[in-house]
Amino acid sequence: MSGMLGITGVTRMMMQMPKVVKMGLSKTAASLGRVKPQHGRMFLHQKSLARLPIPPLQQTLYRYLLSVEPLLSKEDFETTKKVVEDFGKPNGVGQRLQMALVKRAKKLDNWLSQWWLSVAYLEFRSPVVVNVSPGIVCPRENINSESDQLKFASKFISGVLDFKHLIDTNSLPVDQMGGQPLCMDQYYKVLAACRIPGPRKDDLVFYPPNKPDAPKHIIVAHKNHFYTVDVMDKEGVPLTLSQLYSQLKFVLEASTQPEIPVGLLTTAHRNTWGKVYKRLNKDPTNAKSFDNIKRAIFLLCLDSSSSQTEQNFSAHVARQALYGGGSGSNSGNRWYDKTIQFFVSPNGGTGLTYEHSGAEGPPIISLVDHTLAYAHSIADDFNAMTVDAPAPKKLNFNLDLDALDTIEEAKQEIDSLAGDLQLTILPFKHYGKDFPKSQKLSPDAFIQIAIQLTYYKIYGRSAATYESASLRKYQYGRTDTIRSASIASNAFCKAMEESGTKPSEKAMLFRKAILSHKEYTNLAINGDGIDRHLLGLKLIAIEQGENVPDLFMDTAYTQSSHFNVSTSQVPAKHDLVMCFGPVVPDGYGICYNPRQNHLNFAVSAFNTSPETDSDVFAKRLSESLLEIRDVLESAPPTAKL
């Protein structure tokens, strides 16, 4: 397929890209006072970014033991200690694998990234919906009519194209963390990108802007129809707002009756969808439609209204964002393989879902923040105008009986998933990240320890907890894990639950737990985390045809990687929240956006687990946050931790 490249190939090519694609939006952006394109600055630091290091073996093993101690009985811990010692002994398995890993790292820009892409994403066979693809709930828009819906959608498209222009001209300001530049590569994997299903492993493709056949269209979904809609003219100049509006109106008027929900195929188990896709793709009409979707800059879903009560509006939109709300709602009005899908509803609910393979939340949030700021600042210029672009074209699909059966099964599965997923949105209004800062504490560590306390209060123990840590200070870096349950957090939780602990002692233990969390965070973001290193040692053993070492068969490894609590901080300039599903059947998925004066949380759980309840967790989390504030206010802040 022309223009389709593997990830590394395209990345290298983009980074060397000498030419600037000429597009018309820079004028608009400049006149609106937004980020001015500064060609080339996006990769100013790229070449000087360090390569992801491999931590010393003994350091990882030592820290691994520290991380499993609060989760194990004394007996199990002693057994694990022996397994770890054996793995790490001089000239043992661990050392041999470590040497092989170091050898691999010398040959690659990033020893982990291709492995991670395969293991964490492309080889993952469960449906991407809820299990992999996060949703983002944007603030409610003032939409009261179909015309409002189309106007906002037009502004939104315009905003995304403005951001795309910054990417295409390498003009985005370099992201930073703690004053250090981050790898910007993920931005190329966000727009004009798509996951392709395979019978055993998926693929990821994207289409660069500096090719003669660079995509100039988006896909608009309405009532399960998919239309290819040009959003730029032949020269690559984006259409005006009123032209975009006309294009969208065309789609709306041409798709009044619901279509067969072919998009539901993308919600199926990956092996199932992979097989169906392979067969359907042999038909030229289908192949053309698939190709149009793959190449599209993004997917815009003009959703239909569905009943919801005002009381739980955010939770309703979160469901729309995660899985489209169910087969009777908008689940068929999606194409879950597409990297970016925005939706705009007639009731003002807006947001997106993204396919996670190519990028983490922060680049997606940059896109959303930019687009919302653009959409809210651009003038309402919807004067009638002729459209200098082809009219939208409906994508047709020739579906065989087997595909129709798969759609029926997918319908049932998505509805059963919908019924199983419990989702609670908690806007915690009592304070925001300014409070921990006033206490000289890291807000992220503060929230993590509050989550620990909440779990402990409900279950009387600590559980394996995952927090995403960015590895983007390294070339092509993705994430490592911060194991948030620590000896120190466990001690704090225990003290909080024991009657008779003085507030000053509670405060002291809380600060210690924060310190311990911050220390782990620093290790993880500096390439000294333990999870990706251990994964590397396991994968290199497999690659070399060796038996998987005992360390990975030990209960401690299984238990400490069974993340009952999977968390991520995804901060944004807008008052939004990201949400995702739990990663284990008896777990919680918790995402948060710490704002200055309030904290947005999304908590998920599965109803089929009798042990979990997201409503209860969110309620208890709110109580924990208040309790911690009381404790801290009764003891004066000490030095900055």
Spatial separation of the C-alpha atoms in residues 411 and 330, rounded to whole Å:
11
- Residue 39 or 440: the one with the smaller Cβ distance to ligand COA is 440
User: Least separation, in Å, of the C-beta of 475 and ligand COA?
Assistant: 16
For residue 393, report the phi and psi dihedrals to the nearest 5 degrees: -120, 135
Q: Which two tokens stand for residue 143?
A: 């939409």
Across 471-564, the runs of DSSP E, i.e. the strands, are 479-483
For residue 2, report the phi and psi dihedrals to the nearest 5 degrees: -70, 145
Nearest by Cα to 51 from 107, 91, 92: 107
User: Least separation, in Å, of the C-beta of 599 and ligand COA?
Assistant: 11
For residue 637, report the phi and psi dihedrals to the nearest 5 degrees: -65, 145
Q: Which two tokens stand for residue 525?
A: 């973001």
Nearest by Cα to 268 from 421, 117, 412, 419: 412
Spatial separation of the C-alpha atoms in residues 454 and 619, rounded to whole Å:
9
Q: Which two tokens stand for residue 503?
A: 């507030």
The dihedral sign for the CA sequence 208, 363, 12, 356: negative
User: Least separation, in Å, of the C-beta of 581 and ligand COA?
Assistant: 13
Q: Which two tokens stand for residue 157?
A: 């498209």
User: Least separation, in Å, of the C-beta of 441 and ligand COA?
Assistant: 5
User: Least separation, in Å, of the C-beta of 178 and ligand COA?
Assistant: 7
Nearest by Cα to 40 from 138, 169, 218, 216: 169
User: Least separation, in Å, of the C-beta of 579 and ligand COA?
Assistant: 11
User: Least separation, in Å, of the C-beta of 360 and ligand COA?
Assistant: 4
User: Least separation, in Å, of the C-beta of 108 and ligand COA?
Assistant: 22
H helices within 378-440, ranges in order? 401-420, 434-438
Residue ranges that bind ligand COA, judged by CB under 6 A:
177, 360-362, 437, 440-444, 468-470, 479, 521, 525, 568-570, 640-641
Spatial separation of the C-alpha atoms in residues 405 and 411, rounded to whole Å:
10
β partners of residue 364: none
Residue 91, exposed/middle/buried by CB under 10 A (0-12, 13-18, 19+)? exposed
Q: Which two tokens stand for residue 105?
A: 């790292």
- Residue 107 or 640: the one with the smaller Cβ distance to ligand COA is 640
User: Least separation, in Å, of the C-beta of 510 and ligand COA?
Assistant: 13
Q: Which two tokens stand for residue 422?
A: 């419990």
DSSP string, 588-617: EEEEEEE-SS-EEEEEEEETT-TT--HHHH
DSSP, collapsed to helix, strand or coil, labels residue 482 as strand
User: Least separation, in Å, of the C-beta of 232 and ligand COA?
Assistant: 30
- Residue 392 or 436: the one with the smaller Cβ distance to ligand COA is 436
- Residues belonging to the active site: 356
- 195, containing H or E segment: strand 193-196
- Residue 98 or 521: the one with the smaller Cβ distance to ligand COA is 521
For residue 530, report the phi and psi dihedrals to the nearest 5 degrees: -100, -25
- Residue 220 or 471: the one with the smaller Cβ distance to ligand COA is 471
CB 156 within 8 A of CB 218: no
- Residue 100 or 120: the one with the smaller Cβ distance to ligand COA is 120
User: Least separation, in Å, of the C-beta of 219 and ligand COA?
Assistant: 24
Give the alpha-carbon dihedral of 34, 295, 330, 611, to 10 degrees: -90
Instruction: Count each helix (H run) and each strand (E run) in the chain, helices first.
Output: 20, 18
CB 335 within 8 A of CB 341: yes
User: Least separation, in Å, of the C-beta of 561 and ligand COA?
Assistant: 17
Which strands make up the sheet holding 565-569, listed edge to edge?
421-428, 599-606, 588-594, 565-569, 465-470, 479-483
- Residue 187 or 227: the one with the smaller Cβ distance to ligand COA is 187
- Residue 172 or 551: the one with the smaller Cβ distance to ligand COA is 172
Give the alpha-carbon dihedral of 23, 248, 287, 329, to 10 degrees: 130
Q: Give the single-character DSSP code of 117.
A: I
For residue 422, report the phi and psi dihedrals to the nearest 5 degrees: -105, 135
Q: Give the single-character DSSP code of 174.
A: P
The CA-based angle 99-103-109, given to 5 degrees, is 135
- Residue 272 or 442: the one with the smaller Cβ distance to ligand COA is 442
Q: Which residues contact 237 (CB under 8 A, 6 or more apart)?
A: 23, 24
- Residue 329 or 468: the one with the smaller Cβ distance to ligand COA is 468
- Residue 389 or 599: the one with the smaller Cβ distance to ligand COA is 599
- Residue 88 or 362: the one with the smaller Cβ distance to ligand COA is 362
b vs e for 368-378, b when ≥16 Cβ sit within 10 Å of the residue's Cβ?
bbbbbbbbeeb
